[in-house]
Amino acid sequence: MPDSPAGPPTPPIALTELLGREDLRLRLLAGPEQADLLWVHTSEMADPYPYLLGGELLLTAGVQLSDADTYVARLVEAGASALGFGVTPVYDTVPDALVEACERHGLPLVEVPPETRFTAIARAVWRLMAEARHRELRRVTRAQQALATAAARPDPVPAVLRQLAVQLEGRVALLTADGGVLHAAGGRTAPDVQTALARLARVVVPAAPAAGTPGRKPSPSSAAESRDGVHLFAYALGGGQGLALALATPRRDAGDHTVAGIAVVLLSLLTAPHQGADAAGRSAALVRLLLGAAPPDVAPLLGDGDSWTVVHARRTDGAPADPLNAGALGAALGSALSDADRETVRVLLPGHRTVPPQPGWTVGLSEPSPVEALPDADAQAARALGHAVATRAPVSAYRPGLGGLAALVPPDHAAAHARALLAPLNGPLAETLRCWLGLHGSWDRTAVALQVHRNTVRQRIARCAALLDMDLDDMDVRTELWFALRSSV
């Protein structure tokens, strides 16, 4: 994971900003106008090369200037960004040989008039750098707040990636060790850029070695390269999950590394397996179930009581479900046991749980059930979710078995009667009839709950009426069928 400094590094100052200061009266005589200044240094040495770090605006009055071409060549070799030459007291004008050498070597040459002191230039550069750092700190703070807000959304991983793409004005993607794209956001990129990002992802998150092969050297936490003016970066997510954050941006500002580091921390937390101390016991339970153990024998390994509540959830905006969203919802509900298919997330909660509304999700709950009854609880949660979707409720819980007058009939007698009465109906027809009756005969809400066309609902209900040879508009018939359907659960 990249370092996450308290703030971004001080950004460089554009030479054009310094030239734009009217009080300094600086004039560009040679070389390009575009240059980045990191600091100011004054020297009257014949060869200041050993004392330069690179990025300086070197100020001199030319006290020991003898060979202009060699002098400029050494400055360029040292990485100086620009040369400021003060006229008087040594020279009345900037030497022509120095102008020609700077133009030839591509080093910006700035004339400093007699009335402008070198200290005034240094003070102006430091002030500009302080202002730039303040701007960058504010930008990073805004980005941090935006990313944190995105991480609190129902779809935290895609939301963080979308916000990161906005902040860096580029393309971002969450990649696997083999370069596969899990999520992406931002503008499109050329195929060669995508290939380069996948290669960088393999550098920071290499694939696991085959069994029996020697261990590898530790991989770098980040990697970067540039391609046709596009800056490419890859960061390894923490936790050893084999995931990388890849970026393709048109520029690289001083605070971008800090913003990317914040996103890496958030994504590492959001994509990490949310498991408690009993994860080993639960893993053992899954292994034993796969090997054929009976559910009652496996239940003690789960370690959270005798009953479980099944949760079915669907995104309210219709977005597909995925393992990352499923893990985030499970973490919000306090469970590491989650799964996702194309549309629905399933979460297994120990005991009886009251689930509050989850922003961005529609949720259905089963009644608490023992391990051996979890398939029935799964069906209950699915029906509760369908009811919640149809009624536009954020949370719907499956209602337990019948009470009142229906409780006066022995359960085995009621179940036998239900089997005989509903025998002509197959599973889809019985489920459609159950949903339709539960939603008071609403064609549209039943279609929404079952995710079928309303004409399909009409056809199925008509088929039920024909097979049962009953008038489904009769309230007595509806009541009889409702009790039978509830008894058949």
Residues 332, 360: Cα–Cα separation, whole Å: 12
Instruction: Check residue 484 and give its pLDDT.
Output: 82
Do 323 and 265 share a domain, yes or no?
no
Do 76 and 94 share a domain, yes or no?
yes
Do 315 and 374 share a domain, yes or no?
yes
Do 109 and 151 share a domain, yes or no?
no
194 SS3 class: helix
Do 357 and 288 share a domain, yes or no?
yes
Chosen domain end from 253, 271, 289? 271
Q: Under a CB-based contact definition with an 8 Å cutoff, are residues 88 and 62 in contact?
A: no
16 is a domain residue = no
CA atoms within 13 A on the CB side of 286: 6
- What does the DSSP assignment read for 313-328? EEETT-PPP-HHHHHH
- Locate tokens 């034993």: which residue? 288
Instruction: Check residue 114 and give its pLDDT.
Output: 94
93 SS3 class: coil
As a residue count, the chain comes to 489
Chosen domain end from 271, 288, 304? 271
Residue 204, C-beta contacts closer than 8 angstroms, at least 6 positions apart? 219, 220, 221, 222, 223, 234, 235, 236, 244
* Tokens matching residue 473: 């508009």
Q: Under a CB-based contact definition with an 8 Å cutoff, are residues 262 and 216 in contact?
A: no
353 is a domain residue = yes
- What does the DSSP assignment read for 224-289? EEEETTEEEEEEEPSSS-SEEEEEEES---TTHHHHHHHHHHHHHHHHS----TTHHHHHHHHHHH
Instruction: Check residue 239 and give its pLDDT.
Output: 62
Instruction: Check residue 216 and give its pLDDT.
Output: 53
Residues 183, 160: Cα–Cα separation, whole Å: 10
Do 171 and 242 share a domain, yes or no?
yes
126 is a domain residue = no
CA angle 78, 102, 11 (to 5 degrees): 55
Structural domains of the chain, count: 4
Residues 172, 64: Cα–Cα separation, whole Å: 52
Do 162 and 44 share a domain, yes or no?
no
Residues 163, 236: Cα–Cα separation, whole Å: 19
Instruction: Check residue 403 and give its pLDDT.
Output: 54
**Cross-strand bridge partners of residue 41:** 58
pLDDT tens for each residue of the chain, 489 residues long:
444 444 556 778 899 999 999 999 999 999 999 999 998 999 999 999 999 999 999 999 999 999 999 999 999 999 999 999 999 889 999 999 999 999 999 999 999 999 999 999 999 999 998 888 888 888 888 998 898 888 888 778 888 999 999 999 999 999 888 888 888 898 888 888 888 888 888 888 876 554 444 555 566 788 888 887 788 998 888 766 788 899 999 887 778 888 888 888 888 888 775 444 355 555 566 556 556 666 666 666 665 556 788 899 998 888 787 777 777 788 778 777 788 877 888 888 887 777 888 888 899 999 888 877 888 888 888 888 888 888 888 998 887 655 555 555 677 777 788 788 888 888 888 889 888 888 888 888 888 888 889 899 999 989 999 998 988 888 888 888 888 887 775
Chosen domain end from 115, 146, 166? 115
319 is a domain residue = yes
Do 150 and 248 share a domain, yes or no?
yes
Peptide bond into 114 cis (omega under 30): no
Range of the domain at 98: 27-115
Q: What is the CATH number of the domain that holds 46?
A: 3.40.1390.20
Residues 312, 344: Cα–Cα separation, whole Å: 6
- Amino acid 478 reads R
Do 356 and 242 share a domain, yes or no?
no
Do 353 and 375 share a domain, yes or no?
yes
Q: Where are the alpha helices (DSSP H) in 323-453?
A: 323-333, 374-391, 411-422, 427-438, 443-450
171 is a domain residue = yes
9 is a domain residue = no
Instruction: Check residue 288 and give its pLDDT.
Output: 62
* Tokens matching residue 180: 């596969």
Do 432 and 470 share a domain, yes or no?
yes
Neighbour order of strands in the sheet with 222-227? 181-185, 171-176, 243-249, 230-236, 222-227
CA atoms within 13 A on the CB side of 48: 23
296 is a domain residue = yes
Do 310 and 339 share a domain, yes or no?
yes
Residues 310, 319: Cα–Cα separation, whole Å: 21
6 is a domain residue = no
Q: What is the CATH number of the domain that holds 254?
A: 3.30.450.40
Residues 57, 327: Cα–Cα separation, whole Å: 53
Q: How far is CA 37 from the centre of its chain?
A: 35
Residues 91, 129: Cα–Cα separation, whole Å: 30
Q: What is the CATH number of the domain that holds 408?
A: 1.10.10.2840
| Consecutive H or E run containing 83 | strand 82-86
